[in-house]
Amino acid sequence: MAEFVIKPRIRGFICTTSHPDGCAANVKEQLQIAWAARNTKPDTYRVLVIGSSTGYGLASRIAAASLYDADTIGVFYERVGEGKKSGTPGYYNTAAFHAYAKNKGLTSININGDAFSHEVKQQTIDQIKAHMEQVDLVIYSLASPRRIDPDTGEEYRSDIRSIGDVYVGKTIDLNKEFITEVSVEPATEEGIRETVAVMGGDDLNLWTDALLNAGVLAEGARVVPFSYIGPEVTYPIYRNGTIGRAKEHLEATTAAIHLRLQSKIEGAAYISVNKAVITQASAAIPVVPLYISLLYKIMKESNVHEAPINQMVRLLTDHIGPGQTPALDEKGRIRLDDREMVNAIQNEIDRLWPTVNTDNFRSLSDYDAYKKGFRQLFGFEVDGIDYDKPVELETEV
């Protein structure tokens, strides 16, 4: 097969290329971090990750396999490399993880398709029955801007806006790299409805019912979707906006699922509220890139910074892994954002926020690290990679 030199094509929060060797190096680094935290492991541990190819979903799959030699099944929707056109980073991430699992003799099943569809749910169930019988843990980490209702065929699109009032806030223009004021008109009722339909709990509910009815959730199985709360500075566009309305729906749905699992299989469902991290999705939300840039600098200086893999290792070893009892807040949620939301960290962000401008944002924040971290999501600017060397783009999983 032909090999090609791949360079980043980035504008703002969009990158249209990815580098397979850089993605593989990212996965290898995460595997090493999780492997270093290994302790005792169960005889068997079987994990389904819905949304497994990037971010927290990928990290949870890596952590489960590294910590416990877990057999895993990953569901994702990624583009395969073809000819001169690179695949999406999630595809190369999955290929690298699969190679690791195969080398370790672990079961690694990969389903590339629309996780919102009934067909992919049934395909997943069939694979679980054929190769694992049941699963002990379900991680739900889907991040998509659109969803097609599998029953009605209606297409929903998320609309990231405030609710009630025009939102005016400070953010980084990622194209021109300066601080600017952004104004966002409030969401319509239709925009709220569609955002909840995409990012709320409806699909998680369908997955849980399908898995329960098929008998593929083991006794005591746990279902864990991810959420985020964030600081007050982001509330208007996040927690009090359309995203927040969807997260509230997800959390209410999870509470109902928890009761259902308890009664049927003595299982449980918990929301895991995770730390803010660099993702392509978060880069598109006003305020968030600037907030993360400030947050990373402060957390690193306080020696409490965590990447997604550190968070997922902590999630498993402290809360939901084999034999673990999760520590919950007053609303029954796991709070992996505890180090982000500590008063000392947030007070410093509140102090700096009014003073940040185009002249000082690079010195006050960790924006250059944010910028590098964004490129690394796509396999670029990864240490040790020769980006002038041609690479094969049609990697197979």
Active site residues: 238
**What is the distance between the alpha carbons of residues 289 and 189, in angstroms, rounded to a whole number?**
27
Token pair in block for residue 138: 């379900």
DSSP 274: P
Neighbours of 361 (CB within 10 A): 20
Task: Give the CA diameter of the chain.
Answer: 59
Give Cα 89 to chain centroid, integer Å. Answer: 13
* Alpha carbon distance 177, 361 (integer Å): 10
> Quick check: 160 and 213 in contact, CB under 8 A?
no
Both tokens of residue 11? 């504008």
Residue 84 CA to residue 176 CA, distance in Å, equals 29
Residues 193 and 85: their CA atoms lie apart, in Å, by: 36
Distance CA 203, CA 216 (A): 18
Q: Give the burial class of 263: count Cβ atoms within 10 A of its Cβ; 0-12 exposed, 13-18 middle, 19 or more buried.
A: exposed
